Structure 1
Amino acid sequence: MVEPTATTTEDGTENAKNHFTKAMEEAKAGAQALAGEYREKLTKTKDDLSDEAKSRSGDAREKASAFASDAKVKATEYANEGKARTSKAIVGLSKMIDDNAGLIDDKVGAKYGDYARTASKSMQDAATKLDEKSLDELGEDAKEFVRKSPGLAVGMAVAAGFLFGRIFKKSK
């Protein structure tokens, strides 16, 4: 039997160190290769998700734009319909006042009958102006009125809100 000497032990240790070092280098190389593959897959997945998000965002934007366009058309139709109904209601009220002006003459006096006729004529003129103007012109007129008389505009809004509140409160 050969007894191990210090040299053979050192060679065995040196040999083990070399094997360990090679194994570590191979493990590092394998880890780097896996990391590279992972980065590549992550980049592809990220790009795919980004493209899908952009596509969906574009689709949503198109749908929202189409919805907004449809809503604008519908709102314009309803506003024109409301304008026509308002004008018709003003004319009807004017006609009713005009029809009752004679009765007012008899009951209260000719002076008050004339007031009623003047009010009726003013209402007919307002209805005619309302029919003649576009929605844009009416909007500009309203803005100009608010600029010139902000206090009066706020007061009218409060009064209208109060009246609508009373109307809807009673209808429940």
Structure 2
Amino acid sequence: MQLWDTGHGLEPCTQDLQAVKMPMPWDLAEKYPNLCSRNIVLVDTPGLDNTCADDSEILRRISSWLAKCYAPDVTIGGIVYMADISQQRMHKSTGTNLEMLKELVGIDYHHVILVTTQWDEVLPEVGQARERELQSTLWKELIEKGATMFRATSHPENPDGHHQILGHIIDHVDRRE
């Protein structure tokens, strides 16, 4: 099962928020029996630095969706922020987007998951150097305040990394419930 896909072309894949409801995967349901009857909703959002919409518009849509869907029986387990490790340079707007993400999330970053993607597109030592730079600069505050980092491969036939991330989110939800 593929949990998410990152686009490979120049044009953005996701132009509107797309929610996908799925039952708890069996391997995770066994680990978290008190959550096994719950559904998981994954929300794919347009990426920031999108050619189809301004970043503030995308964040407004996300905030609006969250406000509309928030109910007493709904738990927002995590926010996954994905970064392409194969990019040679970070755009100036990346810092601005992270600041907007911080405003959206508030002060508790324990449910923020920072994921680097496209590892198969770079030499391991190049990706590791870029990852260290992210940890010591743009992502430093988020990590210091509880965000967690993961690496994800872009191969749909290898969902283990995606299941680790989902398991981490569910583990965090399980501890809160």
Q: Would you say same fold, with TM above 0.5? A: no
So what's the TM-score if we normalise by structure 1? 0.20
**In proportion to residue count, which structure has more strand?**
2
Larger Rg: 1
So what's the TM-score if we normalise by structure 2? 0.20
**In proportion to residue count, which structure has more helix?**
1
Q: Between the two structures, name the one with larger relative contact order (CA 8 Å, sep ≥ 6).
A: 2
